[in-house]
Chains A and B, each alone.
Chain A
């Protein structure tokens, strides 16, 4: 029994040695395999949610994402909807948005890029306020707070 334990211990130690030796050369392929696991995707609270609609205009494209209410065990009462403007953004952005695709505009947004000012005019009572409004590497992003 004592001998078995010794052999098992040493074998486990050598196996660990091999794991360390192949870890770094194989890191890219191990990472790729791990990235394919079902839980290895970013939560919509961080990605902003899937793109639900696109509004293409002359100089830029507006992505209207799906509202995000994700919680831990169930959906939360409060969430947000993210808007992304890509391309050559004009100095003043003025858009009326229907985020839930019911044919009725839910809010109007005005962004003054130069003065970094964002004004929200809620139309639907579910629209609460501006959570984030910021320039990004691709253009401009805004998150509007919503309640269910």
Chain B
């Protein structure tokens, strides 16, 4: 009797893929237009149309080709670039500069980002206050709405937030795809615990100094958003640190290693999101029966979430951001999206479809505003 191993593919037919895309089509249309499409301004209408088509075509292709990562990455990278454009454009328009002044800090006008959240925890618990010069409820990127967004996303996606929600992750994700082969193939595995060390240190230093120390001193993404005016040796040092870390961890190392080194070796929020991987229903599972231990998945994983020992043990570490790169790379379809409670190797398509809908929907709606804004700005430049 023939012993043929049937490899369950993720590809769907054209019709089926369209059907799966229909809910995304309807929901994104509702969100982008607010239910009341307005085509009065041509540039706005065109921007909205392009953004709408972009997200839905990418989602369609995920189902039609059975591949996840390459289409996720397109939207993820565009999100990161468009958010930087939106922030910088707003600042230059309003303040004529990428820097914020002491007045902006005193008037609590700094937009809040989710990276502040780890530093808020201890002061919020002990002093019942937020140590950030932002707005609690009103205005762009206010504290309450960003906390809600992050909290829900991290409960639902776990560390998947780092590949489907974080508007900075697209930077090092993009740079990690430039070279076909890595120049630096091996980095000491000890470094992947660095985000936890950074998390402990920033939580402590922020609580004891009553200042968001990661934002003030370390955040590499200050280089592409906004930072303090350089008026002293201290602020010049800070600017130097931001630019160096951006250059090193976001540009150079990702290019050399084909890994997301900022996310793997620095980001303290990634450390917290790793812990929430324990509660999210969505996971990556390894079907040991199908796995031929080629370790291609280990090679392609951008966040050092897989090791040879993990594959042999049939489990994925808490660093996994569910980006789908390993799933796409596996020739045996042994590594796949799963749902907690469902045994590995079963209900693969169902698990993938459900996860993709949830995660892509979040990313599509979260990114829509800044993508439309960027397209609108570019169209106004062109026409």
B358 at the A/B interface (Cβ < 8 Å)? Answer: yes
A20 at the A/B interface (Cβ < 8 Å)? Answer: yes
Chain B interface extent, by class: 35 or more
Q: What chain A residues lie within 8 Å of B3 (beta carbons)?
A: none
Q: What chain A residues lie within 8 Å of B275 (beta carbons)?
A: none
B180 at the A/B interface (Cβ < 8 Å)? Answer: no
B19 at the A/B interface (Cβ < 8 Å)? Answer: no
Nearest CB in chain B: distance from A142 CB, A: 10
B207 at the A/B interface (Cβ < 8 Å)? Answer: yes
Is the Cβ of A17 less than 8 Å from the Cβ of B103?
A: no
Is the Cβ of B340 less than 8 Å from the Cβ of A12?
A: yes
Is the Cβ of B107 less than 8 Å from the Cβ of A136?
A: yes
The stretch of A27-35, A95-103, A105-113 in contact with B is: A27-35
Contact with B along A10-35 (1 / 0, CB 8 A): 10111011011101100110111011
Is the Cβ of B103 less than 8 Å from the Cβ of A134?
A: yes
Is the Cβ of B144 less than 8 Å from the Cβ of A35?
A: yes
Chain A interface extent, by class: 35 or more
Q: What chain B residues lie within 8 Å of A5 (beta carbons)?
A: 340-342
Is the Cβ of B103 less than 8 Å from the Cβ of A43?
A: no
Q: What chain B residues lie within 8 Å of A137 (beta carbons)?
A: 103, 107
Q: What chain A residues lie within 8 Å of B354 (beta carbons)?
A: 13-14, 17
Instruction: Determine which of A10, A38, A135 lies in contact with B339 in the assembled complex, contact meaning CB atoms within 8 Å.
Output: A10
Is the Cβ of A6 less than 8 Å from the Cβ of B144?
A: no
Is the Cβ of A19 less than 8 Å from the Cβ of B152?
A: yes
Cα-based distance from A43 to B106 in the complex (angstroms):
12
Is the Cβ of A40 less than 8 Å from the Cβ of B27?
A: no
User: Given A8-B341, A72-B207: A34 and B148 within 8 A (CB)?
Assistant: yes
Which of B122, B131, B147, B156 has the most chain A CB atoms inside 10 A of its CB? B156
Cα-based distance from A70 to B208 in the complex (angstroms):
11
A45 at the A/B interface (Cβ < 8 Å)? Answer: yes
Nearest CB in chain A: distance from B120 CB, A: 9
Is the Cβ of A39 less than 8 Å from the Cβ of B339?
A: no
Closest to A24 in B: B365
Is the Cβ of A6 less than 8 Å from the Cβ of B137?
A: no
Closest to B30 in A: A25
Nearest CB in chain A: distance from B228 CB, A: 12
Cα-based distance from A46 to B341 in the complex (angstroms):
46
B232 at the A/B interface (Cβ < 8 Å)? Answer: no
B190 at the A/B interface (Cβ < 8 Å)? Answer: no
B133 at the A/B interface (Cβ < 8 Å)? Answer: yes
Q: What chain B residues lie within 8 Å of A9 (beta carbons)?
A: 281, 339-342
User: Given A10-B341, A135-B103: A44 and B129 within 8 A (CB)?
Assistant: yes
Contact with B along A101-135 (1 / 0, CB 8 A): 00000000000000000000000000000001011
Is the Cβ of A20 less than 8 Å from the Cβ of B144?
A: no
Instruction: Determine which of A31, A39, A141 lies in contact with B129 in the assembled complex, contact meaning CB atoms within 8 Å.
Output: A39
B128 at the A/B interface (Cβ < 8 Å)? Answer: yes
A67 at the A/B interface (Cβ < 8 Å)? Answer: no
Nearest CB in chain A: distance from B329 CB, A: 24
**Further pairs besides A35-B143, A82-B106: 4, Cβ < 8 Å:** A9-B339, A13-B355, A19-B156, A45-B211
Of the A-B pairs whose beta carbons lie under 8 Å apart in the complex, a sample of 20, sorted by A's number, is A2-B343, A7-B341, A9-B342, A13-B354, A27-B149, A31-B142, A32-B137, A32-B144, A34-B147, A41-B128, A42-B132, A43-B129, A70-B129, A72-B127, A132-B106, A134-B102, A134-B106, A135-B103, A137-B103, A141-B103
- A-side residues, CB < 8 A to B, are 2, 5-10, 12-14, 16-17, 19-21, 23-24, 27-28, 30-32, 34-35, 38-48, 70-73, 82, 132, 134-138, 141, 143
